[in-house]
Chains A and B, each alone.
Chain A
Amino acid sequence: MAGKVKWVTDIEKSVLINNFEKRGWVQVTENEDWNFYWMSVQTIRNVFSVETGYRLSDDQIVNHFPNHYELTRKDLMVKNIKRYRKELEKEGSPLAEKDENGKYLYLDFVPVTYMLPADYNLFVEEFRKSPSSTWIMKPCGKAQGKGIFLINKLSQIKKWSRDSKTSSFVSQSTKEAYVISLYINNPLLIGGRKFDLRLYVLVSTYRPLRCYMYKLGFCRFCTVKYTPSTSELDNMFVHLTNVAIQKHGEDYNHIHGGKWTVNNLRLYLESTRGKEVTSKLFDEIHWIIVQSLKAVAPVMNNDKHCFECYGYDIIIDDKLKPWLIEVNASPSLTSSTANDRILKYNLINDTLNIAVPNGEIPDCKWNKSPPKEVLGNYEILYDEELAQGDGADRELRSRPGQSLGPKGGRSRDSGRTVLTTWK
């Protein structure tokens, strides 16, 4: 009997609730028999924890992977990527090729990062190599730009390091762990302003990897003109693009919210820089997203009850190189403008169409291969099954040079809209 899907959420946002209601789903509490639970990250921790966890039944779906933090905690993400690179190097894979300076040619997409306090001495060594550089300190477990600050002198964190040396590492609660990354002080500026890219990526399974990219990402602009000047290192309005911070600035505008669509960015770059470099940039962005997912795929608990919609934050530097800054497990569902609300509503709508086929009571055993028509504004970013089924005669391209660019649908094989032609 096809009953109505029963949903629970502990995130009270209208873009979610409206989507559930429009499908005729029924709201229940978490203690009842539910089919779909849009959880916060605390809840997923409880569900899968040893003490408080419980088994999910076949008709239950949740919106997080149990150990998503392998990707979404800043320190673990870097750790996994470093491990992935070393593994590829050991296998002798062409992907792990390095240039004459020892930098990875294709896998250098995360700024140099150290975990603190663990890597403090390594960090100091690196810092001393280029003493005029700026570094950004980020607490591992926080979001919305909280607790972030910039330093350009060792003395600014010496106090911190002193504290860390006196207490033993074991007693350091993970909440106080920081990462310190080389600050990208040459971001691409448009209209003199710094911006970053927020892209939404849906992962339905890690093994085989199947992920989708939402076509309607956006750029978040700072309200204040960018300056790398050291006197403005404390001015978070210049450096941090998080809307949570920017919206408290004097010049924050509630009509456009300081946001541009990715299409605008594309148009601007094509018009001012040319088509080839723009296509290359977007190819690279797709590449680094897929590589980051591949890096964590081996350690991810590929629980079949799970899917996840990540918020990827990417910064482009003035040489048009994209850098992966972080991945968010719970991208904000708050709407800052009318356009924003429409975008997030459609995002959830398309996500649900893929994760819960036909809006019916789910069966977690399904093959997680939705038909092309339900993708909505999503495009297949990478489908490991499809890529592997392409036969051995397809040359392994380690550079995403053959991507189809903005028009992912131009594949000659009908029915396939993949953004990537590389494995």
Chain B
Amino acid sequence: MLQEESDLSLVIAQIVQKLKGSSLYAQLERQAWASLQRPEIKLESLKEDIKEYFKISGWEKKLQNAVYSELSVFPSPSHPAAPPEHLKEPLVYMRKAQGSWEKRILKSLNSMCTELSIPLARKRPVGEQKELLNKWNEMGTDEPDLSLFRPVYAPKDFLEVLINLRNPNYENGDSLSFRTHLGLIQVPLKVKDIPELKEFFVELGLTTGQLGIDDSTQVPPELFENEHVRIGQKVLAEQDSAAAQQYIRQGSPTALRAELWALILNISSQPEDILYYEQLKTNVIQHDLLVDSLIYKDVKLTASNDDYYFVFEDYLYQVLLCFSRDTSVLGHFAYNSASPPKSYIRGKLGLEEYAVFYPPNGVIPFHGFSMYVAPLCFLYHEPSKLYQIFREMYVRFFFRLHSISSHPSGIVSLCLLFETLLQTYLPQLFYHLREIGAQPLRISFKWMVRAFSGYLATDQLLLLWDRILGYNSLEILAVLAAAVFAFRAVNLMEVTSLAAAEAVLADLSTLKVMPLLQIFLFATVT
């Protein structure tokens, strides 16, 4: 009992510490001072009166939302004396693997730099700055020569690293038994099985209404949709993050989605947020970074060719270029197993005083990175709001998809979850694919790393991301990947090569996400 209490007080203390630096704190202070003018605030009962005032005026709700937001990324309870790297990642072998992967990436970036004789960063001459400012809204028409640039890495490079992960303390044994894991991931992380998933995703069950299923044309809206929309509007009126998160597990009506996501992510566009975005824009204008070219190349290779997202090409530059320069993103490395790469001022290699994080936000983009932003363009057309939402989505969810960690939503766990589900519930399919040299993870990895962006139709993708927000977990990506294989199992059983398997699974644009998930979790005989 005592231990729990002291754990809780530690958490409270840490969150209070975090929030003290936020603008919300300053606002609350201002409000408290201003409230002294009010007749209902009496000196004798000052504390209670102010608390009551906060409750009525909605400020308590804002504080609640902020606390809830902090909790969503709070690392699980650990020893109070745990060093910071344990908070990032408790397992040593994972930390080591992440460290050496980072070294490789940085080496690749530096060698590209040297080969092309382009500095990692340079200040733009005034003429170039003016030009860029004029072209800010149509950077897509700029055609710099990107032929010499290569993405720093692609998802399949990352997959190779994950395949080679081993826990030195774990002895697999050479003999095959029914416990042997047939997939590519060979580390013993705990993942949920279907009974546990059914419990975790209980709101996706057959008896609960869902958007994505119960709003189809054949179902009269009186049965579910109308009431669900009404409740959604109520949740928005209350401005309650926690309620919104619970609500969105059943999917969000299209008209309410933008606001609901902003509420869950605790994003409100304050003037200081807009100012901050403008400041980032100024940074982009003044300095050119090597990663900018990587971003350009990525957008041109992926989003520009996408049937849904090509329209928003220019927004992607506006978001991603600013993102690279946003040092507030560095904060998420406290709970990310990754660490920001360091670079040194020319000539001062190894001297810590001359070290800078490169890029300034510590995140090196890889092939397909821009696809994290693209779907959001369907919801937000105001650049600074779009930016804030993306940044929050990244530091809450997306970073886990390309760093090596033991977190249940980390990519390693997702891969293992996917393979385990397949092996346990579709053993014949798994065995067959393995035999023909088509390990399922080789096909599904790219879907999960991109959170299915660019593979599903946009309306389906948004329904899927609703659930990511609702459950504060990425595990649904692994479940969906398994469900897709289950859906196409009959065709897959007939293929005889990896290429043929890829072909069967090449086009996911007609899939309906929610029925697939529901059938896989709740309607398959296990």
- List A residues at the B interface (Cβ < 8 Å): 190-193, 221, 224-225, 251, 253, 255-256, 258-260, 263-264, 267-268, 270-272, 274-275, 339, 407, 409-410
Tell which of A255, A256, A275, A410 touches B254, judged by Cβ atoms closer than 8 Å.
A275
Which residues of B have CB within 8 Å of A251? 140-141
Question: In the complex the two chains form, what is the Cα distance from A158 to B227 in whole Å?
Answer: 62
A253-B458 in contact (CB<8A): no
A256-B378 in contact (CB<8A): no
B141-A225 in contact (CB<8A): yes
Give the interface SS of chain A, mostly helix, strand, loop or mixed.
mixed
With both chains docked as a complex, state the minimum distance between the C-beta of B459 and any C-beta of chain A, in angstroms: 5
B203 close to A (CB within 8 Å): no
Q: Name the residue among B137, B218, B312, B378 with the largest chain A CB count within 10 angstroms.
A: B378
Which residues of A have CB within 8 Å of B305? 253, 255-256
A272-B258 in contact (CB<8A): yes
Number of A-B contacts (CB under 8 A): 67
Interface residues of B in 458-473 (CB under 8 A from A): 458-459, 462
Given A251-B141, A407-B217, does the pair A270, B311 have CB atoms closer than 8 Å? no
Question: In the complex the two chains form, what is the Cα distance from A295 to B317 in whole Å?
Answer: 47
Question: In the complex the two chains form, what is the Cα distance from A23 to B462 in whole Å?
Answer: 40
B359 close to A (CB within 8 Å): no
With both chains docked as a complex, state the minimum distance between the C-beta of A45 and any C-beta of chain B, in angstroms: 38
Q: Name the residue among B304, B306, B307, B459 with the largest chain A CB count within 10 angstroms.
A: B307
B458-A272 in contact (CB<8A): no
Tell which of B141, B221, B254, B314 touches A270, judged by Cβ atoms closer than 8 Å.
B254
B217-A409 in contact (CB<8A): yes
Which residues of A have CB within 8 Å of B304? 253
Residue of A nearest to B254 (CB): A270
Interface size class of chain B, counting residues whose CB lies under 8 Å from the partner chain = 20 to 34
B128 close to A (CB within 8 Å): no
Interface string of B364-400 (1 = CB under 8 A from A): 0000000000000111110000000000000000000
Tell which of A225, A339, A409 touches B307, judged by Cβ atoms closer than 8 Å.
A339
Given A256-B306, A275-B254, does the pair A224, B141 have CB atoms closer than 8 Å? yes
Which residues of A have CB within 8 Å of B140? 251
B138 close to A (CB within 8 Å): yes
Tell which of A191, A221, A407, A410 touches B314, judged by Cβ atoms closer than 8 Å.
A191
Which residues of B have CB within 8 Å of A193? 311
Which residues of B have CB within 8 Å of A258? 310
Question: In the complex the two chains form, what is the Cα distance from A274 to B236 in whole Å?
Answer: 14
Q: Name the residue among B137, B217, B315, B380 with the largest chain A CB count within 10 angstroms.
A: B217
Which residues of B have CB within 8 Å of A190? 311
A221-B311 in contact (CB<8A): yes
Residue of B nearest to A273 (CB): B255
B313-A267 in contact (CB<8A): no
With both chains docked as a complex, state the minimum distance between the C-beta of B113 and any C-beta of chain A, in angstroms: 29
Question: In the complex the two chains form, what is the Cα distance from A342 to B311 in whole Å?
Answer: 21
B377-A191 in contact (CB<8A): yes
Question: In the complex the two chains form, what is the Cα distance from A253 to B305 in whole Å?
Answer: 7
Give the interface SS of chain B, mostly helix, strand, loop or mixed.
helix
Q: Name the residue among B137, B221, B306, B311 with the largest chain A CB count within 10 angstroms.
A: B311
A192-B314 in contact (CB<8A): yes
Residue of B nearest to A406 (CB): B217
Residue of A nearest to B315 (CB): A191
Question: In the complex the two chains form, what is the Cα distance from A333 to B254 in whole Å?
Answer: 34
B315-A267 in contact (CB<8A): no
Q: What are 17 A-B pairs with beta-carbon distances under 8 A?
A: A191-B314, A192-B138, A225-B138, A253-B305, A253-B310, A256-B305, A256-B310, A267-B254, A267-B458, A268-B378, A271-B255, A271-B258, A271-B378, A272-B379, A274-B255, A407-B217, A410-B220
Question: In the complex the two chains form, what is the Cα distance from A253 to B148 in whole Å?
Answer: 22
Q: Name the residue among A263, A267, A407, A409 with the largest chain B CB count within 10 angstroms.
A: A267
Question: In the complex the two chains form, what is the Cα distance from A260 to B457 in whole Å?
Answer: 12
Question: In the complex the two chains form, what is the Cα distance from A271 to B379 in whole Å?
Answer: 5
Which residues of B have CB within 8 Å of A275? 253-255
Question: In the complex the two chains form, what is the Cα distance from A225 to B142 in whole Å?
Answer: 12
With both chains docked as a complex, state the minimum distance between the C-beta of A364 and any C-beta of chain B, in angstroms: 34
With both chains docked as a complex, state the minimum distance between the C-beta of A315 and any C-beta of chain B, in angstroms: 16
Residue of B nearest to A337 (CB): B307
Which residues of A have CB within 8 Å of B137? 192, 225
With both chains docked as a complex, state the minimum distance between the C-beta of A213 and any C-beta of chain B, in angstroms: 16
Which residues of A have CB within 8 Å of B141? 224-225, 251
A264-B458 in contact (CB<8A): yes
With both chains docked as a complex, state the minimum distance between the C-beta of B256 and any C-beta of chain A, in angstroms: 9
Question: In the complex the two chains form, what is the Cα distance from A256 to B380 in whole Å?
Answer: 22
With both chains docked as a complex, state the minimum distance between the C-beta of B373 and any C-beta of chain A, in angstroms: 13
Which residues of B have CB within 8 Å of A260? 307-308, 311
Question: In the complex the two chains form, what is the Cα distance from A350 to B220 in whole Å?
Answer: 27
Tell which of B255, B306, B313, B458 touches A191, judged by Cβ atoms closer than 8 Å.
B313
Residue of B nearest to A219 (CB): B311
Question: In the complex the two chains form, what is the Cα distance from A163 to B459 in whole Å?
Answer: 55
B402 close to A (CB within 8 Å): no
A sample of 15 more A-B contacts (CB under 8 A), given A251-B141, A264-B308, is A191-B377, A193-B311, A255-B307, A256-B305, A256-B307, A259-B307, A264-B458, A267-B458, A268-B378, A271-B258, A272-B379, A275-B255, A339-B307, A409-B218, A410-B221
Question: In the complex the two chains form, what is the Cα distance from A267 to B43 in whole Å?
Answer: 54
Question: In the complex the two chains form, what is the Cα distance from A224 to B314 in whole Å?
Answer: 11
Question: In the complex the two chains form, what is the Cα distance from A270 to B459 in whole Å?
Answer: 11
Interface string of B289-315 (1 = CB under 8 A from A): 000000000000000111110111111
With both chains docked as a complex, state the minimum distance between the C-beta of B464 and any C-beta of chain A, in angstroms: 14
Interface string of B211-222 (1 = CB under 8 A from A): 000000110110
With both chains docked as a complex, state the minimum distance between the C-beta of A339 and any C-beta of chain B, in angstroms: 7
B257 close to A (CB within 8 Å): yes
Which 8 pairs from chain A and chain B are nearest by CB? Answer: A191-B311, A275-B255, A270-B254, A225-B138, A407-B217, A256-B307, A255-B305, A274-B255
Interface string of B198-238 (1 = CB under 8 A from A): 00000000000000000001101100000000000000000
Which residues of A have CB within 8 Å of B306? 256
With both chains docked as a complex, state the minimum distance between the C-beta of A337 and any C-beta of chain B, in angstroms: 9
Question: In the complex the two chains form, what is the Cα distance from A274 to B257 in whole Å?
Answer: 10
B459-A267 in contact (CB<8A): yes
Question: In the complex the two chains form, what is the Cα distance from A254 to B157 in whole Å?
Answer: 29
Question: In the complex the two chains form, what is the Cα distance from A223 to B486 in whole Å?
Answer: 41
With both chains docked as a complex, state the minimum distance between the C-beta of B455 and any C-beta of chain A, in angstroms: 15
